[in-house]
Amino acid sequence: MTNKGTLVFFCGKMGAGKSTKSQQIANEMAAILISEDAWLAALYPEEIKSIDDYLTYSLRLKPLLKKHVQTLLQSGVSVVMDFPANTVKQRAWFREIFSEQSLTHKLIYLDLSDSQCLSQIAQRRAQQPARAAFDTEAVFHTISSYFQAPTENEGFNLEVLGRADIQLDR
């Protein structure tokens, strides 16, 4: 019997450092990193101009990736997913991935304050000018209005990291 891989996924407000942390964890675990932003940019270049566009294209991507990730995990490969798990509904998709085949998982919640996230977003805007149109305080507040922090009652293997636990080298 082969060992199964572990699924690692993230929760945190915009600017909390989910992408940076997912890269760090993937490197530490020698795991496959799957980034929603990279897949969406490759499959739908220039088509995502609004939050509604993002939601539409993200929903198209998930059924394809679900089976792919399950296959990787079943073969013993660990997978780190840089996809948001920021609402109960988003986390339900991750639950489907691991629970249908009794796979190991970890949900890492990057618990930073709004001011910390906004500071990191400002840094990202300066370092990646192409993101400036989307990385704004107004977009942060719009996206954050949907945010639902995970609770222990949801039954995930949950690890909560605060600012002191997160080394973000931007």
Tell me the domain boundaries of the chain: 6-163
Does the structure show a pLDDT above 90 at 43?
Answer: yes
- Cβ neighbors of 125 (< 8 A, separation 6 or more) are 131, 132, 135
Average pLDDT score over residue span 75-84: 97
Does the structure show a pLDDT above 60 at 80?
Answer: yes
Q: Identify the CA nearest to 18 among candidates 75, 73, 66, 80.
A: 80
CATH of 6-163, one of 1.25.40.80, 1.10.3720.10, 3.40.50.1110, 3.40.50.300: 3.40.50.300
Reported as a single tens digit per residue, the pLDDT across 82-128 is: 999 999 999 999 999 999 999 999 999 999 999 999 999 999 888 88
Coil, helix or strand for 87? coil
Q: Which two tokens stand for residue 81?
A: 């997913």
Reported as a single tens digit per residue, the pLDDT across 141-159 is: 999 999 999 999 999 999 9
Q: Identify the CA nearest to 81 among candidates 20, 30, 36, 17.
A: 36
Does the structure show a pLDDT above 80 at 165?
Answer: no
Q: Identify the CA nearest to 95 among candidates 159, 146, 34, 157.
A: 157
